[in-house]
Amino acid sequence: MVKDKAVISKRVVTLAIAATTAGTLPVFLTGALSVQIRASLHLNKAATGMLVALFFASATVTSLTSGRLAEKYGSESVMKVATALAGINLVGITLFASNFASIAVFLGIAGLSNGALQPSVNMFVAGAIPPSRQGFAFGIKQAAIPSATLLAGLAVPLVALTIGWRFAYFFAAVFAFIVSALVPRRAPDRVSATNPLSSSEDFSVAPLVMLAFAMALGAGAANAMGAYLVENAVHVGFNPGDAGLLVVVGSVSSLAARLYSGHRADQRGGGHFKVTAVMVGIGALGYVMFSFQATVLLIPATIVGYAAGWGWNGLYNFAVIKNHPNAPGRATGITQSGAYVGSVVGPIAFGIVVQDLSFLAAWVGAATLAGLSSVFMVVGRKMLIKSRHTLSPG
């Protein structure tokens, strides 16, 4: 089979990574800088989870509707506006965040922009990369998430502990504005067009709802880890600088997993949802390792948790789009909404359990969510195969 490697546009994937990173930096900075922000704004530990949850709750609203919007007006238009809005809110946090309410307002609006951004970026990539290379392309695109967490982790020792946490948001704002300026009005390398009005036979909602539910459980556990990794590391004895570097280790692990799983996807004929189910299940073992609250286990738990428990997203999006080539924006908008719902409930529940019980109990809960996510991914795949005989199963 011809790989069509030459047609993968570096500009397309670079813009996809940059836009996704810009959209998610507000929330990942909040998680990585939680120790400094809590001390500065006098917040309790549960506040971090609530702020992260608010971001994703807002994203859920626009994720469900922006797919059709991108299919109608163009993915590039939505990307340009959404990244600019992310930059505006990052500036707002830099200058005006003085208490929980003020930072919550800016994160809520930033969540709206991120919810609109993700389906648009998925459509942007799907329209510019041929199907034979989309697995790797989406692996690269989703590498933006660990890239954002990596940058957020580096911001702790390099920025927050030197010149102050607000400057981390300011630098992120500059990045977002640059990305917005670079997004073209139309994709320069579009190789295929999607039909914005695919027939009902090509768009079955029920399997997507099940897959969204599975994604909610897996993303809820993973985003709780992202929000509280630094807090947990400090709790067991790490200093804040080293705890921030732990996020870097996890981010690199997740980035490598997303790239490799995407590369392997292009070499398979199907079975992608089965692979994501296995990855989430392995991630659950990482959360169990966290529950022991042992310093010696933090690094291996981080690697397993981030690589497996948070490394499946790109492959998941690819599998959804492979089965819905005529409606990539709407299909991933539905499944991505599941990720946002889970990302609301996960960090809030994790924070409450930590506040009222312990980190041990919270990690056991995260492992349970991941295990259930693995099961429901398999269920969703079976529903998809049953309802879509004309398309190859993912």
For 4-46, write each residue's pLDDT tens digit: 444 556 787 788 888 988 998 998 898 888 888 988 998 887 7
Q: Helices 144-155 and 240-265: crossing angle, nearest 10°?
A: 170
Which pTM does this prediction carry?
0.73
Both tokens of 288, joined, read 């169990």
Q: CA 69 from chain center: how many Å?
A: 21
Q: Could you tell me which of 231, 263, 268, 267 has the C-alpha nearest to residue 247?
A: 231
Band of pLDDT at residue 210, cut at 50, 70 and 90: very high
Asked whether the predicted pLDDT for residue 67 surpasses 80, the reply is no
Count of helices and strands (H, E) across the chain: 15, 0
- Read off φ and ψ for residue 191, nearest 5 degrees: -105, -15
Both tokens of 151, joined, read 């940058």
Q: Are the C-beta atoms of 81 and 114 separated by less than 8 Å?
A: no
Rounded CA separation 193/167 (Å): 41
Average pLDDT on 273-279 reads 91
Q: What is the pLDDT at residue 389?
A: 60
Rounded CA separation 344/224 (Å): 9
Q: What is the largest CA-CA distance in the chain?
A: 59
Q: Which domains does the chain have, with CATH numbers?
A: 8-387 (1.20.1250.20)
Rounded CA separation 138/311 (Å): 12
Q: What is the pLDDT at residue 196?
A: 41
Dihedral through CA 37, CA 21, CA 234, CA 227, nearest 10? Answer: 80
Average pLDDT on 145-172 reads 82
Q: What is the pLDDT at residue 195?
A: 42
Rounded CA separation 237/221 (Å): 23
Q: What is the pLDDT at residue 328?
A: 72
Of 380 and 141, more confident: 380
Q: What is the pLDDT at residue 203?
A: 63
Residue type, 250: G
Both tokens of 286, joined, read 């990482």
* Whole-Å CA distances, 217 to 44, 115, 382: 25, 18, 18
Average predicted confidence (pLDDT) for the chain: 82
Rounded CA separation 264/259 (Å): 9
- Summarised one tens digit per residue, pLDDT across range 232-257 is 888 888 887 788 788 888 888 888 88
Rounded CA separation 142/16 (Å): 9
Q: In this structure, what DSSP letter does residue 391 have? A: S
Q: What is the pLDDT at residue 199?
A: 42
- Summarised one tens digit per residue, pLDDT across range 47-61 is 887 888 888 888 888
Average pLDDT on 364-377 reads 94
Asked whether the predicted pLDDT for residue 192 surpasses 50, the reply is no
Rounded CA separation 21/141 (Å): 9
Asked whether the predicted pLDDT for residue 134 surpasses 70, the reply is no
Band of pLDDT at residue 201, cut at 50, 70 and 90: very low
Asked whether the predicted pLDDT for residue 391 surpasses 50, the reply is no
Q: Is 129 helix (H, G, I), strand (E, B) or coil?
A: coil
Q: What is the pLDDT at residue 141?
A: 72
Percent of the chain with pLDDT over 90: 28
